[in-house]
Structure 1
Amino acid sequence: MTVQTQMQQAIAAAQSVQSSLTQFSLETENQKAKQMFEQLAEQQKNILTLLEGRYAQVLNEEPQFSQSEPNQGEANQNQAQNKNQQSN
């Protein structure tokens, strides 16, 4: 699994948590619980913003992380072939 895929999964999970917390705040009638869920949803939003920022940074700094799984395998095969050719 590539770093890109792992980061995308982490972002999706963070979005899911934020959505759940927001939904809980809308569904509860208890004002204390509503306030707690709203605060947690806001904290999760901040976490999501940080994750998305890091994801963008990783893609800019490390372009190899943006390769898909099959391309990664091809790149590794090409590197191995180049090493074999150089050693001959």
Structure 2
Amino acid sequence: MTVGTQMQQAIAGVQSAAATMKTFSLETQDQNAKKEFQQMAQTLDGVLQTLKNRQDYINQQEPQYKQQ
């Protein structure tokens, strides 16, 4: 498995986790839990951006890892 493929899988996993936290936030009636889920989703969105930046860097430095 290439670094590019592994990075894509990591990005997909974080996207899924962020979406799940957003869903939990919308479904709960508990305001404290809602706030915590929103904060987790924001954190994961930040992680996602970092991973995407890293993927861009990898694609620039190592074109053979570029997703086709």
Task: State how many pairs are aligned.
Answer: 68
Q: Which runs of 4+ in 1 moved over 3 A?
A: none
Measure the CA separation in 2 of the matches of 1:46 and 1:6.
19
RMSD of the alignment, in Å?
A: 1.2
Shift of residue 47, structure 1, vs aligned partner: 0.2
Contact 2:5 2:67 in 1 (8 A): no
Unpaired stretches in structure 2, ≥5 consecutive residues: none
Normalised by the size of structure 2, how large is the TM-score?
0.94
Structure (1 or 2) with the larger CA radius of gyration: 1
Normalised by the size of structure 1, how large is the TM-score?
0.74
Using CA pairs under 8 Å that are at least 6 residues apart, name the structure with larger relative contact order, 1 or 2.
2
